[in-house]
Structure 1
Amino acid sequence: MSEKIENCELRFTDILGRMKAMIVPCNPVDELKALAADPVLKNGTSCDGSSVTGLANVEASDLKLDPDLSTLIEIPYLGRRTAAVMCYVRKKETTGASKEFYALDSRGRLEIVYEEHLPEKMHLRVKVEPEFHFITPEGEPFDDAGYADTHPRNPGVDVLLSISAAIRKIGIKPRVIHHEVGEAQQEIELDFEDARKMADYILIFKNITRSIAQEHGIDVTFMPKPFPGEAGSGLHCHLQLWDGEKNLFGDPETGGLSETAKQFIAGLLEHAPAITAIANPSVNSYKRLVPHHEAPVYIHGVR
Structure 2
Amino acid sequence: MATSTIVSNTENVRFSPPALDPADKTRSRDNLTTHSNTLQLLKYLALDQKGKVMAEYVWIDAEGGVRSKTKTLSKAVTSADELPEWNFDGSSTGQAPGDNSDVYIRPVAIFPDPFRKGDNILVLCETWDSDGTPNKFNHRHEAAKLMETHADQHFWFGLEQEYTLLGSDGWPYGWPKGGFPGPQGPYYCGVGTGKVYCRDIVEAHYKACLYAGINISGINAEVMPAQWEYQVGPCEGIQMGDHLWMSRFLLHRVAEEFGAQISFHPKPIPGDWNGAGLHTNVSNDATRAEGGIKAIEAAMKKLEARHVEHIAVYGEGNEARLTGRHETGSIDKFSYGVADRGGSIRIPRQCAKDGKGYFEDRRPASNADPYQVTGIIVETLCGGV
State whether residues 75 and 82 of structure 1, in contact with CA within 8 Å, keep that contact through their aligned partners in structure 2.
Answer: yes
Q: CA deviation at 1:48?
A: 3.8
Query: For residue 293 of structure 2, what is the aligned residue in structure 1?
Result: 257
Deviation at 1:135, TM superposition (A): 1.9
1:146 matched to 2:181? The reply is no
Distance 2:232 2:280 in 1: 10
2:86 maps to 1:83: no
The reply on whether 1:64 has 2:95 as its aligned counterpart is no
Query: For 1:100-111, what aligned pairs fall within 5 Å after superposition?
Result: 102=134, 104=136, 105-111=138-144
The residue type equivalent to 1:87 in the other structure is: C
1:202 to partner: Cα distance: 1.8
Task: Classify the secondary structure of the residue corresponding to 2:287.
Answer: coil
Alpha-carbon deviations, 1:104-142, whole Å to 9, x = none? Answer: 3211111122233x05x3322110111111222222221
* Paired residue type of 1:190: V
SS of residue paired to 2:58: strand
Q: How far apart in 2 are the matches of 1:36 and 1:223?
A: 32
Looking at structure 1, the residues matched to 97 and 154 of structure 2 have their Cα atoms a distance apart, in angstroms, of 34
Mapped partners of 2:80, 2:215: distance in 1: 23
Going from structure 1 to structure 2, the CA distance change for 1:19 and 1:164 (only over 3 Å counts) comes to: same
Shift of 1:261: 2.7
Residue 224 of structure 1, CA deviation:
0.9
Is the Cα–Cα contact under 8 Å of residues 176 and 188 in structure 1 kept in the other structure?
yes
- Summarize the Cα distance change of 1:208–1:227 in structure 2 as closer, same or farther, 3 Å threshold: same
SS in 1 for 2:239: helix
Change (3 A) 1:80 1:226: farther
Give the distance between the partners of 2:327 and 2:116, measured in 1 at CA. Answer: 37
Counterpart for residue 267 of structure 1? 302
Q: Bigger relative contact order, structure 1 or 2, given CA contacts below 8 A and separation 6+?
A: 2
CA distance in 2, matches of 1:257, 1:178: 29
User: Unaligned 5+ residue runs, structure 1?
Assistant: 95-100, 242-246
TM-score, length-normalised on structure 1?
A: 0.79
One of 114, 118, 122 as aligned partner of 2:147: 114
State the partner residue of 2:279.
236
Q: Tell me the secondary structure at the aligned position of residue 293 of structure 2.
A: coil
Contact kept in structure 2, 1:280 and 1:286, CA below 8 Å: no
Which deviates further from its counterpart, 125-134 or 293-302?
293-302
Aligned to 2:64: 17
Q: Report the more deviating stretch, 160-169 or 174-183.
A: 174-183
Counterpart in the other structure of 1:97? none
Which one has a larger percent strand, Structure 1 or Structure 2? 1
Match for 1:271: what amino acid?
R
| CA apart distance, 1:32 | 4.2
Kindly tell me: are residues 182 and 91 of structure 1, through their superposed partners in 2, closer, same or farther at Cα, counting changes over 3 Å? closer
Q: Give the whole-Å Cα distance in 2 for the aligned partners of 1:226 and 1:78.
A: 33
1:123 aligns with 2:123: no
2:166 to 131, 135, 140: 135
Provide closer, same or farther for how the CA distance between residues 172 and 264 of structure 1 changes in structure 2, counting only shifts above 3 A: same
CA deviation after TM superposition for structure 1 residue 278, in Å: 1.2
- Seen in structure 2, the aligned counterparts of structure 1 residues 108 and 176 have a Cα distance that, compared at 3 Å, is same
In 1, Cα distance between the equivalents of 2:196 and 2:244? 24
Alpha-carbon RMSD: 2.8
Shift in Å, 1:148: 1.0
- Cα 1:150–1:174, aligned 2, differ >3 Å: closer, same or farther? farther
Q: Equivalent of 1:296, from 311, 329, 336?
A: 329
Q: Residue 285 of structure 1 corresponds to which residue in structure 2?
A: 318
Q: Counterpart of 1:193?
A: 235
Counterpart Cα distance in 2 of 1:137 and 1:24 = 30
Once residues 267 and 59 of structure 1 are traced to their aligned partners in structure 2, the CA distance between those partners, rounded to angstroms, is 44
Are the counterparts in 2 of residues 17 and 203 from structure 1 also a CA contact under 8 Å? no
Q: Is 1:181 aligned to 2:223, yes or no?
A: yes
Q: How does the TM-score come out when normalised to structure 2?
A: 0.63
Alpha-carbon deviation of 1:37?
A: 8.1
CA distance in structure 1 between the partners assigned to 2:123 and 2:318 by the alignment: 30
Query: Which residue type is aligned with residue 257 of structure 1?
Result: I
**SS in structure 2 opposite 1:238?**
strand
In structure 1, the partner of 2:359 is none
Residue 160 (structure 1) shift:
1.6
Q: How many residues align?
A: 275
Q: Which runs of 5+ in 2 are unaligned?
A: 1-44, 175-180, 338-385
1:132–1:187 Cα contact (<8 Å) kept = yes
The AA in structure 1 aligned to 2:259 is G
Q: In the alignment, is the contact (CA less than 8 A) between 1:77 and 1:208 conserved in 2?
A: no
Distance 1:113 1:60 in 2: 30
Shift of 1:196: 1.0
